[in-house]
Amino acid sequence: MNPIESVVTQIQGLSSSATDVSVLNTYLKQAEESLYTESTRLLPFLDHLDPSIHSLGYLYILDACTSGPISKEQAKTLVLIFARFITSCVADQIRLASDKFISVCKRFKDQVMLLEAPMQGVAPMLSAVRKLQSSSAHLTALHPDFLQLCLLSKCYRTGFSVLEEDIFEVDQPRDLFLYCYYGGMVCIGQKRFQKALELLHNVVTAPMSSINAIAVEAYKKYILVSLIHRGQFSANLPKYASSAAQRNLRNFCQPYIELVNSYTTGKIAELETYVQTNREMFGSDNNLGLVKQVVSSMYKRNIQILTQTYLTLSLQDIANTVQLNSSKEAEMHVLQMIQDGEIYATINQRDGMVRFLEDTEQYKTCEMIENIDSSIQRIMELSKKLTTIDEQMSCDPLYLAKAGRERQRFDFDDFDTAPQKFNI
Amino acid sequence: MEADDEIYANGGDGPSRNRPIISGEQLDIEAYAGLYTGRTKITRLLFISDHCDNPQMQLEALRMAYDEIKKGENTQLFREVVQKIDGRLGPNYGMDSAWCETVDRRAEQRKERLENELNAYRTNLIKESIRMGYNDFGDFYYAHGALGDAFKSYVRTRDYCTTSKHIIHMCMSAILVSIEMGQFTHVTSYVSKAEQTPEALDPTTIAKLRCAAGLAHLEAKKYKLAARKFLEVTPELGNSYTEVIAPQDVATYGGLCALASFERTELKNKVIDNLNFRNFLELVPEVRELIHDFYSSHYASCLDYLGNLKANLLLDVHLHDHVETLYDQIRNKALIQYTHPFVSVDLNMMANAFKTSVAGLEKELEALITDNQIQARIDSHNKILYARHADQRNATFQRVLQTGSEFDRDVRAMLLRANLIKHEYNLRASRKL
């Protein structure tokens, strides 16, 4: 019998129970070599297998037959096979060979990109991510690829659904960097600036021994988003950021730091000329869109400052102080901001006056109480998690070994059983 | 002293008090110069001639400086002044090379003599004489305008001081020279050194030290500290420190710094009810009046006085750099105080009180509100300023929610970082194995 055929029969026979599948896994590992040598003739055999039943075997064969170079014509048919497999395979089976699954999915992503149809990849990649995850807090190697496809196909909403889950377990730092960077961009696309800031902040402050390109790009976006969302930016990184980041990031992003400086002067004209003169540089960084948002956010910021100082103000005065061209334009800005809930105000069109109101939220409604309650629950859960991790850490042999080594010699005082305060 | 009162007497007492004071009214240079002695007189005159755009005053100041220098021995300064006069004051105020030469020759001889004396003292190791020798050197350099050398000589006497009186003498000389040099950090350190030897301090010296400390703080832009120092100056000062400061200056510097930096209660307790300081204020009625106007909320008249004083204050060697800042701070203080007691303020009336336009006032208030110095909002339509009382309950809710979400965010980020560090550590450990 043809060796491939025997492999296929083995797969067909050993795919029902969990024990069978693990036997199959060891068998397939041994047969891997021969599969690779036959890689060109494997494709027809896939028809004999059902991806929803023979997932593991299907995975091995698919991996083997796509290991060589693939032309664009082949890619078209392969993409369909990939997609069908990823969506219908059984999670338990493919997790036995997660490395294979990851490389198959990455190959799938490459094919989709080759065909310039990233949209086709979004849904299969999402289910791939879900199948590979051991829990929702687990960051898989596929997360960044999935988010990249979302970005390319502008499916921000789908991407955002993944970002809403908090990630705690990370396999590879690089995955986290990319995940947070792409995730930040997805959130920017969804205008969820708070979340975007959080993700980009994670990249910038992540422990790193040397500076990397992802962190530099993330820092640029972090500066811009911080200006858009908060209207300010402090160039000092928090203490916990790595020293590599503290020392070098600013130097890589000098034009952006200068943008911050000209933003903080509060003068629109100055900011606009600065942006104009550095237009090409921002464009080559693919940040021109964000920079434009920074400029328009300045109008908002200035109007918001006015709400704190004025009770009523004519549209003309607003236009003058915020440096808009006409009262009509000022009206549009104010209207937009009222709609977005950024300010509380009413416009009196007859007199051309705007009346600024206080925040109407009284913190008395049921929804607010529920909101607060859910916040409390969330934080309680979080602090529970913190305690468990602390406990784990204090029992971790690796950590204890390191801590012990650092404290070279034990002082005699350490063995002193009497409490300190009794030592007079 | 009668003449002294004239200096700032552009408002005067009695019926002329409410007469509008012409801001350009000239400083009576002669009376002003009469307040000072020694080098500061010359410095101040030269400062006026440099910073005044009235040629008549300039020449007047230069003429007096010329006369004053002629009394001393500073030929370097003499040449500079002659150059500045540039023959504009006629042949009597030209270059006097004969004088210069004799002075220089005499200085040369004297220096030689002093050196010989000092060497003799040093070989004999008589402490007191060495101290005197250095001190003479200091005096000699000071008279000839070599301030750096003078300072060094004075400081050198320190090693040979045997009594606390000597230490005080050394400190005072060092302070004098440092003020002339504009080295106010030295001033501060020597003031504190002098204050550490309290047994030899008489009231006049204490007053002098306070003045010097005040000047140092003023130069360092620490107006509140400067005000406190000037306010502590006792009337014993009199005219004893005219080589540095006149009692009128104590009143002006102290008064303005206090206005700019003190709270209302402190102003009342430390300035208005301060008997010592009142004596000084009597010398400069304008400053007294403007402080009282400020305290009794007559801002228009207070600002009027300030406006009139400004031109002359700008000609003061020490205050010159600080006039604008002090004035801004006083004005802001006045605006804040004006709005403080009211729930609503009519901007028209307020603008009247501050002698400004409503639009200008709005801008000033806007800046103060943005700076969170005034808690109020402007009704620009009806031109009314409403005080704003923050809703504690809502603010608390807001803050709690914000803190909560910040904590949430920080903890999650921290866990993530901890995880990465752990990963990295594991990686390194496994690589080692």
Shortest distance between the Cα of A179 and any Cα of chain B, in A, equals 13
Class of domain B344-413: mainly alpha
The mean-pLDDT minimum among A337-351, B18-32, B201-215, B302-316 falls in: B18-32
pLDDT at B16 over 80: no
Which residue, B179, B149, B205, B37, is CA-closest to B136?
B149
- Binning chain B into helix, strand and coil, the percentages to the nearest 5 are 75, 5, 25
Which residue, B254, B256, B238, is CA-closest to B246?
B238
Segment B207-219 shows an average pLDDT of: 91
In chain A, the number of structural domains is 2
Q: Quick check: is A101 in a domain? A: no
Regarding whether A212 and A255 lie in a shared domain, the answer is yes
Q: CA B384 from chain center: how many Å?
A: 38
Collapse the DSSP code of A34 into the 3-class scheme (helix H, G, I; strand E, B; otherwise coil) and give the result.
helix
Q: Quick check: is A417 in a domain? A: no
Q: Quick check: is A150 in a domain? A: no
Q: Residue A363: which CATH number?
A: 1.10.10.10
Edge-to-edge strand list for the sheet holding B384-387: A345-348, A353-356, A310-314, B376-379, B384-387, B344-346
Regarding whether A185 and A232 lie in a shared domain, the answer is yes
Task: Extract the runs of DSSP E, i.e. beta strands, from A48-96.
Answer: none
Regarding whether A288 and A185 lie in a shared domain, the answer is yes
Interval B100-128: pLDDT, tens: 888 889 888 988 998 888 888 888 888 88
Q: What pLDDT score does A218 carry?
A: 93
A259, A289, A308: which is the final residue of a domain? A308
Inter-chain contact A313–B381, Cβ cutoff 8 Å? yes
For residue A353, the cross-strand partners are A314, A348
3-class DSSP string for B341-375:
CCCEEEHHHHHHHCCCCHHHHHHHHHHHHHCCCCC
Regarding whether A272 and A184 lie in a shared domain, the answer is yes
The complex scores an ipTM of 0.79
Q: Residue A230: what residue type?
A: R
Q: Quick check: is A323 in a domain? A: yes
**Domain coordinates in residue numbering, chain B:** 344-413
Interval A98-109: pLDDT, tens: 888 998 899 899
Regarding whether A195 and A301 lie in a shared domain, the answer is yes
pLDDT at A196 over 90: yes
Residue B385 parent element (H or E): strand B384-387
Regarding whether A379 and A299 lie in a shared domain, the answer is no
Q: What pLDDT score does B8 carry?
A: 37
**pLDDT band at residue A342 using 50, 70 and 90 as cut-offs:** confident
CB-based contact A359:A345 (threshold 8 Å): no
Interval A307-325: pLDDT, tens: 888 888 888 888 888 888 8
Regarding whether A365 and A249 lie in a shared domain, the answer is no
The mean-pLDDT minimum among A165-169, A212-216, A274-278, B17-21 falls in: B17-21
Q: What pLDDT score does B25 carry?
A: 55
User: What percentage of chain A has pLDDT greater than the value 70?
Assistant: 95
pLDDT at B15 over 70: no
Q: Quick check: is A266 in a domain? A: yes
Interval B229-283: pLDDT, tens: 999 888 888 888 888 888 888 888 999 999 898 888 888 888 888 888 888 888 8
Name the residue with higher pLDDT: A13 or B323. B323
> B176-203 b/e with 16+ CB inside 10 Å = b?
bbbbbeebbebbbbbbebbbebeeebee
Regarding whether A350 and A227 lie in a shared domain, the answer is no
pLDDT at B6 over 60: no
**Distance, CA of B154 to CA of B148 (rounded, Å):** 10
Mean pLDDT of chain B: 83
Interval A22-72: pLDDT, tens: 888 888 888 877 777 777 777 777 777 888 888 888 888 888 878 777 788
Q: Residue A264: what residue type?
A: T
Shortest distance between the Cα of A325 and any Cα of chain B, in A, equals 20
Q: Quick check: is A196 in a domain? A: yes
Task: Please report residues of B whose CB lies closer than 8 A to that of A363.
Answer: 393-394, 397
Residue B227 parent element (H or E): helix B223-231
pTM: 0.69
Q: Quick check: is A238 in a domain? A: yes
Q: Residues 108 to 167 of A: which have CB under 8 A from any B CB? A: 166-167
Regarding whether A245 and A344 lie in a shared domain, the answer is no
Residue A336 belongs to domain spanning:
310-384
Regarding whether A273 and A183 lie in a shared domain, the answer is yes
Interface residues from chain B to A (CB-CB < 8 Å): 365-366, 369-370, 377-382, 386, 391, 393-394, 397, 400-401, 404-405, 407-409, 411-421, 423-426, 429
Segment A265-278 shows an average pLDDT of: 88
Inter-chain contact A176–B420, Cβ cutoff 8 Å? yes
Q: Quick check: is A315 in a domain? A: yes
